[in-house]
Chains A and B, each alone.
Chain A
Amino acid sequence: MHKIAPDIGYCISKVLRDYSVVIEPDVCLLLSSPLWLGMNISNGNAYVPVGKDIIAYLNPLFLESFSVNANCLFLPVRGNSQEHFTYLIKRLKNQRKTLVKLSGDVLERNDRLPDGAAVPVLGVIEHILEHPGSNGAVVDLVFSERSTLTLSEADFVKYWHSDTASKINTEWFTIIPSQGKLTWALIEQKLRAAFVRQYHHLRPNRGGVVTGSAVLEFLRSNLCQGTGRYGDPASHFYLWQTGKGIIHLRKGYAYALNKAEGMGPAVDVLQQGLLDSVRAWEDLYKVLDRDMTVRQLSDQYEVLIEKENKLIQNFKAFV
């Protein structure tokens, strides 16, 4: 699950409302500890949480993290058979919406993964209307406050696919809250746990999947040595075109931090750190959009590495 439209807070919040639980979308976003930077540089068929040679900026366990942080039951189901679809209809009849992952083609998004597949998006199935005797059901989907879609059953199943990291499955998720009366004190406890998990998700890690600033170091090293998968500066252009959502997600997260301002000055420092990081990412895109030299790109990676490491320190204040 490497890329999903960053309206995850909106989608999660919408599902919780079925249970009369109101958690604002921004708080849902923070509670999902979503920020990540990861790249799979391994070979073979073993499981990795991100597709090969792809930049992932959304924590692959963001829904699990939300459920653990927010004290919800998390029920993932994987499979898009007719039985699964029938079950979704049954859930809706019981006033229960379901989160679902669809191919980005459904929104005609331009983002493309290196293998040509569209970046997946997260949505909520709002209604399924059955037409007895006709060619199947009609499905209403919501992706964000402004983005909705109605699909025939056949189209829905077509877009209801899996990502390139694990082509074998298709995913949809249920989140069932355990708490309704959420006082600020409880939310604050949950946010602190979410920030601790967020801190660990951003730390650099090496291995089959490099994460955090280690991704940038890996790319910079390929670039400067002119060797490896990313030895050619042009390859960085294509790589990052699929990762533009990183700015959107981080801006969204920085904005969402306004909801946590009651947690003291460390939140302001964190917000500032995020905005600095966003500026550095925007500068990277400016470099990528013109005929950049190896030196320019390498320098920009150096700035980004510094900002990423500083951001980790900002999160560390909550550990």
Chain B
Amino acid sequence: MEAAIQTRVELNNYTHKPGGSCMVTALSGIYRYKGLNYSPEQIIGLGSGLQFAYGYDPEQKNYRIEFISSQLLYSLLCNTGTFGEEFEIVDNGEALSRMLDLLDEGMPVPVMLDPLYCEGLMKRTPKEFVAYIPSHMVVAVGYDLEERKVFLYDSPQLDLMTMDLDDFTTARCSGPTLPANRHIEFYFPDTLYPYAQSVKLAIGKVVQVFKYSEKHLAHKSGIEAIRRFAANVQNWRNIFTDEEIAGNARLFIMAVTNGHATKGAFRTQYSTFLREASALIGGDGYHASADAYQYLGRLWMEFQKQMLLLIRNPGAREVWKEDSDFHQLLDEIRDKEIAAIDLLEKELLKN
């Protein structure tokens, strides 16, 4: 006898907690579903997510800025001992069929969607910033083929969302970051790395990225990027039109807030991770580093206000004069970022 074809599946024991970064919220949900109650802060920490990356595209006259690592998923896998792959399936039917297979097996599926199809995200994001959202991750937790619906959780919203299957299919294969139909699959072994070991590996990676990165072609990361950013931004007035300044300020706001989803440039969350890690590991811990990153979170928030000023008035004299808060804040951020990573490296070697 043939097995009955399932037409409706819903993973009711998936617990969704709304959060800031879509990817961090999704990963936190997946790990929680597998019995690992990792908070978003732990996902950022264990995924060596703390970042400052910066690159300039001369053709488009704009900057690329990252405050959270684009490598978070791979670092998280390699720091915890989880297996996973990001898939990209050209054929829409094949992409859907694979997702349904996984849901049938009881595995929730993080899926990339065109941000324009995500209601909660659109509500949260001011209109002038929408064009700057590159992509958005949701977690598919069920489907109903008879009703042609997909059930999913989206990071800004508490409740389960229902999306029409045709809309969902279009949302998967459209959007600014093509080729699309991307999703992630995971395999969790019975035993992951001991937590303290994961913390140490994850912090070690952050130290490597911040202190010892020299080049990503035009794309810099870590301290080198912060130095370059601080120097370049102070020169924007001389090289950009007002429109370009406002555009780059918007790009900055999107990066530092992760699309109006987080505060403190992920430094605040990283500080929480370090504090929690200290409590678990004992010994000297990472208390001083946690304080340093908490302070940096506040500094970046202050700087964000200055960038908002530039969006409204790119030529604002109070911003561009030499002894402005803007310039002083930039210098302080640069110096404190350098001091914070030095301290983190020292504490890492001690612990």
Contacts and interface: CB of A to CB of B under 8 A. Distances in A.
Interface of A: 19, 44-49, 60-61, 64-65, 67-69, 71, 73-74, 76-79, 81, 83-84, 166, 168-169, 176-181, 186, 189-190, 193, 196-197, 200-201, 203, 205-209, 211, 319
A83 B107 CA distance: 30
Given A47-B185, A207-B190, A78 B88 contact: yes
Given A79-B88, A209-B187, A67 B204 contact: no
Contact of B179 (A19, A61, A73, A81): A81
Contacts of B193: 200
DSSP majority for the B interface?
Answer: mixed
Residue with the highest number of chain A CB atoms closer than 10 Å, among B79, B190, B201 = B190
B35 to A, nearest CB: 13
B186 interface: yes
B217 A196 contact: no
A61 B186 CA distance: 12
A259 B59 CA distance: 43
A208 B189 CA distance: 8
Given A78-B89, A169-B88, A186-B212, A67 B71 contact: yes
Residue with the highest number of chain B CB atoms closer than 10 Å, among A46, A74, A209 = A46
Contact of B216 (A60, A169, A176, A207): A176
B86 interface: yes
A79 B183 CA distance: 13
Interface of B: 48, 70-71, 74-75, 77-79, 81, 83-90, 94, 98, 101-102, 104-107, 179, 185-187, 189-191, 193, 197, 201, 204-205, 208-209, 212-217, 221
A168 B204 contact: no
A189 B185 CA distance: 31
Contact of B187 (A49, A74, A181): A49
A206 B188 CA distance: 11
Contact of A196 (B87, B201, B209): B201
Given A77-B88, A190-B208, A203 B74 contact: no
Across the A-B interface, the 3 shortest Cβ-Cβ residue pairs: A47-B185, A46-B105, A178-B213
A319 B74 contact: no
A261 B214 CA distance: 27
Residue with the highest number of chain A CB atoms closer than 10 Å, among B88, B94, B209 = B88
Given A178-B213, A179-B213, A200-B193, A64 B74 contact: yes
Nearest to B97: A168
Given A48-B83, A168-B89, 8 more contacts: A47-B85, A61-B78, A78-B88, A84-B179, A186-B212, A190-B208, A193-B204, A197-B78
Contacts of A169: 87-89
A205 B189 contact: yes
Contacts of A166: 85, 87, 185
